[in-house]
Amino acid sequence: MSEAAEQSNVGGAPAEGKITDEAIAKARAMIGLQLRPEGPYLQDATADTLRNWCNGIGDLNPLYRDPGYGPASRYGTMIAHPNFPMAFGWLGRTRWGLSGVHGFYAGNDWELFRHIRPGDRITAIERVVGVEEKESKFSGRLVLQYVEACYYNQRSELVARALGTCTRHERKAARDTGKYKEIETHEYTNEEHDRIDQMVLDEVKNIRGEHTRYWEDVQEGEELPTIARGPLSLMDTMGFLVGCGRGHTHGVVLQSAVKHPGHFFRNPEAGGGVEYTGIGHHRESTAKDVGVPGTYDYGPQRSAWMCSLVTNWMGDAGVLKRIRTQMRRFNIMGDTTFCKGKVVKKYVKDNTPLVDIEIAAENQRGEVTTPGLATVALPSRDVSLPAFLDGSGCDLELPVIR
């Protein structure tokens, strides 16, 4: 073996790590430790990076993507989509502990404090906050890992705080159970394609925008206009990478592989080129190697779709205070995601008029892939309640799993 090969220590197949008591204990010993930034990728908010992020998630709201719209809005400037901090790094990624054990993004719980504007520069402090062991039908023994990230602007102001979750599964165990092996790519009729296309094209008509939605006008049980994303294609997943400013090639990849060989392998389909184990988002063989029936979406992208459902509805004057999503099922190539929402509670807390919205993503099979909850602050006609512009109001604490 050459000196370079010994140094890289990257195997010819994804590592088959095991979930052992010792490995879990080592992961738990990391609770409280701060993690190095995953990238960072996009730190600077500009008209271009904000628009590119929206392109990567299919968001059509002019407040977040049109430099000409923002200056005439109540903010006097373009502002970022609430999930733009994800472009800094995908919170909940499997970057620590349990080497060689495959990981999947399992969801985020975001609390949002300030709007990001062009000229802002985002940094983050991310730390390990919890490790939990469970059993699943997908792979048997699994581990849930929790991280918390606080995102700051260049003035050291807290912009957002998020709790991220990932699940870790033994690759062989996931293959052997074959939980999803019967799922096949959906064959759509022309009528189904036409319906989905029309929903996508009509989405812009349901963006509330400058037409203020007042708290008094909202009713419990009110449903949000459904948005559609799909059928999922390679254009969607690659577009999300571009929107996040992500891309590793050649020496950059190899340097990462040398540091973390358990997360990389030499793929014979690429002539032995080094690839990240997450390439299952783009290579069917790698996806099937971890028990997924085919290439699948990026969980952070799906979370952002759910956010767009809410921001379309609330209008420019609304402030998204919190949004939580959980990835319950895989979204494979050819699946269509229908994002739905319903107002389940309307109340005032700390002088802030709030509504809670139950959100859910369903696929074309009628399966709920992503349940969640959002809290929105809306302006009120009651002059005894304070007006707000930039996320001021009650503090909705995030749960911390330890």
CATH number of the domain that residue 295 is part of: 3.10.129.10
Looking at residue 292, what is its pLDDT? 86
158 in a structural domain: yes
- How far is it, in rounded angstroms, from Cα 195 to Cα 226? 12
What phi-psi label fits residue 156: left (phi over 0), alpha (psi between -120 and 50 degrees) or beta?
A: left
Rounded to 5°, the CA angle 388-393-394 comes to 165
328 in a structural domain: yes
Place of tokens 């993507």: 65
314 in a structural domain: yes
391 in a structural domain: no
Number of neighbouring beta carbons within 10 Å of residue 256: 15
All residue ranges of the chain with pLDDT < 50 are 1-6, 402
Tokens linked to 357: 């919205």
Number of neighbouring beta carbons within 10 Å of residue 231: 18
- How far is it, in rounded angstroms, from Cα 231 to Cα 228? 9
Nearest to 284 by CA among 273, 274, 296, 276: 296
44 in a structural domain: yes
389 in a structural domain: no
Looking at residue 367, what is its pLDDT? 96
DSSP string computed for 286-342: HHHHTT-SS-B--HHHHHHHHHHHHHHHH-TT-EEEEEEEE--S--BTT--EEEEEE
Contact 203, 136 (CB under 8 A): no
End-to-end CA distance of the chain, in Å? 44
Number of neighbouring beta carbons within 10 Å of residue 43: 19
Tokens linked to 376: 């929105």
Structural domain of residue 219, as residue ranges? 3-177+190-377
pLDDT digits (tens, 9 = 90+) for 256-302: 888 878 778 898 898 999 988 888 888 988 888 888 888 999 999 99
397 in a structural domain: no
Looking at residue 216, what is its pLDDT? 97
How many domains would you assign to the chain? 1
Whole-model pTM: value is 0.92
401 in a structural domain: no
